[in-house]
Structure 1
Amino acid sequence: MPNLKIGGATVNQTPLDWKGNLNNIINAIEEAKKQEIELLCFPELAITGYGSEDLFLSYWFPQKALRQLKELLPHCLGITVCVGLPVRIQDQLYNCMAIIEDGELNAFMAKQFLAIEGVHYECRWFTTWKANTLSKFDFFGKEVPFGDIVFEKKGFKYAFEICEDAWKGDKRPGFRLKDRGVNLIFNPSASHFAMGKSEHRENLVRESSIHLNSTYFYVNLLGNESGRMIFDGEVLVAEKGKILLKNDLLSFQSYLIFSYNLGENVEKLAEVSTEHDKKVEFTQAVSLALFDYLRKSRSHGFVLSLSGGADSSSLAVLVAEMVRRGIIELGVDTFLEKINLNFSPKTDNPEKEITGKLLTTAYQGSDNSSKETFESARMLAESVGAVFYDWKISEEVASYTQKIEKAIGRDLTWETDDVTLQNIQARARSPIIWMLANLNNALLLTTSNRSEGDVGYATMDGDTSGSISPIAAVDKFFILQWLQWAEKKLGYEGLRGVNSLQPTAELRPLEHHQTDEHDLMPYSVIVEIERLAIRDRRSPMDIFKILSEELSISPVQLKGYIRKFHQLWSRNQWKRERLAPSFHLDEFNVDPKTWYRFPILSGGFAEELEELDQLDVS
C-alpha cells in the first residue's frame, strides 16, 4: 500500500469575520500544498467558528457559510480538503464536514452525536444525523451526497467522528467505521480547553487507534474564539496505541499545519513523550485568551485595580505573560501589528516597554489599606513595566457615608453596619477605575475568582465590575499556589510581596486583622465542598459523609462549613448572573451562562441542611 501524506490544520477563527476566517483556511491550504500534504483536515465548524451561538438559528448564516465554501473550492486544486461548516436542510441544521477533492465538492458528512453538557448547548442549534443514512444536497446546482459516508484516497479508506461522536463509548460511530474497513478516522473538533483535558484526549486517541484498528487523527480549533471558551489547537495522531504526533498547544498563530505519513512502519516509530502541568496550561491558556480578547475587541490595552493581593496580582502577571509569549512566538513587529499597537520599542527590554503600553494599574487605597499591600502592588507593577497610579478613595467613601447618615438620621458604625461599610469602599473604587479604562479605550479586568463566586464574597459593582473576568473559573487555592510557582518558575520576582501576605479584603479597620479565610473558611475546604456540590452535584449530606473520610476536620466544624457554603451559595446566585464574561479554564465553573445554572430564588437547601444538623456526630 502506498504512503499518503495527511495533515491537520488548526485555525484561530472569529464568528462573523468571514474574510479573516476564509483567509486563515486558504493560507493553511497553501502551506499544506508546500509541504506536499495530500489530505488535509480542518476542525469542526472552521468556516464559521464554533462560538457563533444563536446565529446558527438564522437562515442566512448557514447560507453565507455555503457561499464561503464555494469561494474556497478554487484554492483546493491538487489536494483533498475537509472543512467544517453548518448546513441547513429545510428546518434542520446539521454540523458537517465538507469533503473537497481537487477543487470539487464531493460530499457532506454530518455529525451524529451532539455535545449537550457543561459549556455546550449544541441541541439548541443542531440536529443529529442518523447513522447509516444517506441523502442528497443541492450545492449551487450540483447534487452531492449528504450523511454517513466513507471516503477513499490512494487505497486508504477514511471517515469521520466529529468531536462528541468519539466520546459516546460503545455507541460511537467509530465501531461501525471499523466494520466498514476504514483505515483512517479523522476527529475534527471544537473541544474547549480545560486544565488536564489534553491528557484525557491523548488517552482517547491512543485507545481509539487500538479499538477501531485505524490511524486516529484528532484536530482541534485554536484560540479564544468568541469570548468565553478557549480552544487549544491540539493535533494528535495515534496508531496501534502509540501517540506519533502531538503539537505544542495554545499558539498565538492564526493557523498551523501538522503532517503525518500514513503507511509508514509504525513499529519503527517512537511514541511522542508528553508532559502535563496544570500551572503551565493555565498560564498559556489565559495569556492566549487575553491576547485574542484584546485584538478581537479592538481594545487598546487593559486597566487593573491592583490591590497588592493575590487575584489582581495574578492578572498583572498574566498580562505580562501575554506579552512575553506573544513576542517569543510572533516576534515584536508581528505581535504589535496583531494587537494594532503603533509603537516601536526603544530599549533592549521590549517586553517591559510593551507591557507599559498595554497595562495600566492603580492602587486605590482606603483608610483601611496597609503599607504592605501598597508596596506589594507598587513593586509588582514596576517589575513588569505596567503604568502604576496611586490614589485614595477616602473622600469618596466619606461623601457617600455622610449622605446616607444624614438621610437616615444616625451614624454608621462597624458594630451595626459592618457589611455596608465594607461594601462602599469596594464599590467606590469602581467609577474611578472605569474612567481610566474609558480614557484608554481599554478593557477593565475584573479580579473575582471562583471560590469567591461560590459564596458571594465579592461586592457587586465593586470587585465584580469590569469588561472581562479572566480568573472567575479558577479557585482561590489554585491561584495562591500558582503565584508561588510563577515567582519561582516564571521568574516574576515582583511577586515576593504578594506571596508574603495573607489574603485579605482590607475593608475593615486594620485593628480588626481581617482575613478572607476567617470571614469564610479555609480556601482548601471551599475547593473540596464545591467539587462535590457543584461539579458532582452531591447533596449536603453526601458531602459531609465523603469529606468526613477525606479531611482532618472535626465533624461539628465540617458541618458548619458545609452549611455556610450552601447558604451563601444559594443567596448569591444573582451575583453570579452578573459576572463579567469569564474564561472557561477548569473542568467546571460557576458561570450560569456557560456551565452551572441555579435558581436565583430558592429555599436555600433549608431541609437538606436541617437533616445535616440532626445527624449525630458524637
Structure 2
Amino acid sequence: MKYGYLRCACAVPELKVADTEFNTQKILEIIEEAQNKNIRVLVFPELSVTGYTCGDLFLQTKLLESALNSIEKICDATRETDVLCAVGFPMRKDGALYNCAAFIYQGSLIAVIPKSYIPNYGEFYEKRWFTAYESDSVEYIDIGSFESIPFGTSILIQDENDSRIKIAAEICEDVWVPLSPSTKHALNGATVIANLSAGNEVAMKAEYRRSLVSMQSAKNICAYLYANAGHDESTTDMIFSGHSIIASNGSISAERAPFENDSTLIISDIDIEKLDNERCRTVTFADAARKEKSSSYVTLFVSLEDNTFSSDSSRMKNDRLYAVIPLHPFVPENQAERKIRSRSIIELQAEGLAKRLRHINAKSAVIGLSGGLDSTLALLVTARAFDKCGIERKNITCITMPCFGTTDRTYKNACTLAEKTGAELKEIDIKDSVLLHFDQIGQDKNKHDVTYENGQARMRTLILMNYANKTNGIVIGTGDLSELALGWCTYNGDHMSMYGVNSSIPKTLVRYLVSWFAEEAEEKHQQDLHDVLADILDTPVSPELIPPDADGKISQKTEELVGPYELHDFFLYHVLRYGFSPKKIFFLACQSLLGKKAEGTDIVYSEEIIKKWLINFYRRFFSQQFKRSCMPDGAKVGTVNLSPRGDWRMPSDAMATIWLKEAEEC
C-alpha cells in the first residue's frame, strides 16, 4: 500500500427483512460503489443478507437456503472486484445454526467467521436460534457449492503485498464482553478488526458505543470497523439506527451518526504503518502478544494492492485521503476541546515546577523576560506554580535585559506583564557588558554574525544564573520544544536554565496556551493583563539580536530564517511520534497544507516551500542534537518530547544523509 494506507469502509445498505433477493441487490450496489472509490476492505452489518430481526424465520429452511444462495450470487457478481467484503448471513452446520461473517474476495468465499458470544438478556433472544462458536480451531467445510472453506474465529486475512495488513473479524456482542475475540486477534497480529453488528438503539447507547469502539481500537492498537444495522430492521421490539464507526488507535476517523439517511458508506484511509510503528514503540504490546500467541490461527492471503496513490509524484500530492490530517497536530481543532487541553497542560507545567521548588526549598525564581511568547508563558506558569506552593509572586524576579535588537514594543510589554502578574521587575541593560566582551575577544560590533548574536544571549544567561545564586533562587528556562528541535537556541545561552517549563511545548501550542491565559484574564476582568497578552500574541517571533529597522520595528523574524513554525511542528510531530519517512511526511504535508496561507503571513504553501523547509528541518534536527543531549530538566506534558533522559536518545554525531536524500527526492 502506498504510504501504508488501507482504504476501508462500513456500509449500511437498504434492507427488507427476510427479502434476501432485495438485500443482495443492495449489497452488490454498494460493492460496486466501493470498487469505484478504491475501497479495499468493506464491512456490512450483522446478518445483512437476511436482516437481523427475522426472529423464528431463522429456523425456516427456505430462509437459510436463500441466504446461502445470496452468498453465491455475491461471489458470482464480484469476480472482477478487488474489494474484500465481510457480509453477514446465517449458516447451518452439523445441526446447529451460526451467526456468521462471510469474507468474499474476487468472486470467492474465502472464509466464514462465526459469532462467539450470543446475547440472551434484556431485549436479546439470540440463543433461541443461534449457537455460540467456542472452539479455537479452524475447520474446513463444504457449504453449498463451496468446498474446503476455512470456518472458525482464529482466521487472519493477510495482504500478500504488505504483511502489516492482517484482517480479522468478530460479530456484535463479541466486542461487548470482557475479553473480546478482537483482543486475541490483535495479539496474534491483526491490525484491522471488522465487526458486523446489529446493535439496537436506546437512550445514550450511541455515546457508550462510541467510547467502546474507540477504546477497543486504542488498547489493541488497531483499526476497528464497526458496521451497524440500519433503520430498515423491524421495529416490532427494537429500533436500529445504523450508527457505524471507524476508529484507529483510539481516534474516530469516520462515523455515521444514528439515523443518518444521507450516507450508506463511511470511508477512512487507515494508516497501517502508523499502527505498526505504534505497536513497535509500545513494547508491552509485544510482551502481551508473546504470552497470548496461539498456534490455532490460520492465515489466508489476498492481494489488496492499491494504486490510489501512485508513484507518480504529482498524483502522490494531489490524491485526497479519506482521512483528516491536522494542520496543527499538537493543537485540538475543536475550540472547546482546545480550552480543556490548554488548562490541563498548564496545570502539568505548573505542577512540574512546583515539585522542583518544593524539593530544593526554593523561595524565589528568576526569568529573563523579553516580551515574547515563550518567556511570557514561562512567567505565567511560574506564577501558577508559586500559587501552588504558597509563595508570594513578588519573589519571582523578571529581568529584562535590553540590548542592540530590543524594540520599544517588546520592552514595554515585558515591563507591563511583570507588573500585572505581581512579579518583581529588574532592568539590566547589557549593551556595555557585551561591547566590553566584544573588545576582549576582538569582535567587530558592526559585524552582525553568529558571535554578535550569541554574545548577547550568553551574557543574558550569565546574568540570570548569577542573580539566581545571589537570591538563592532558580532560573526558569523559557525555550520551547520547536526551538530545541531546530537548535534555534544559543548553546550555553538561552539553551541553559535550572528548569525548563516549556521544554515539551511546541511553538504552535505556546501561542494557544498564552491565548488561554488572555481569555482567563478577560473573564476575571483583568483587562490590562488581557491587553498586553493580546499584543504579545500579535508580535512577530524574534530573538531580537539584530538592531531594529529604521522605524524601530523588529528586523529579525525567526520564521523568515528557519521557516514557519506550524510547518516545522507538523514535521516534528510525524518524525518523533510515528517515525515516518520524509516522503510520507511530505505527502501528508501536501494533503494538509497545499494552497493554505502560512499562519500570520501572506505566504501560500506550495510543494516547493514545503520541500524547502522539510530539507531544512532534517538538516537542523540532526546537526543540533548536541544541544539536546545536555538540556536541562523539564517535565514531559505531551506525547512528544526531546529529553535525552526520556523520549529521545540520539547520538549527537548521527548523520542525516539518508533522510536528506529522500527529502530532496520529494
TM-score by length of 2: 0.46
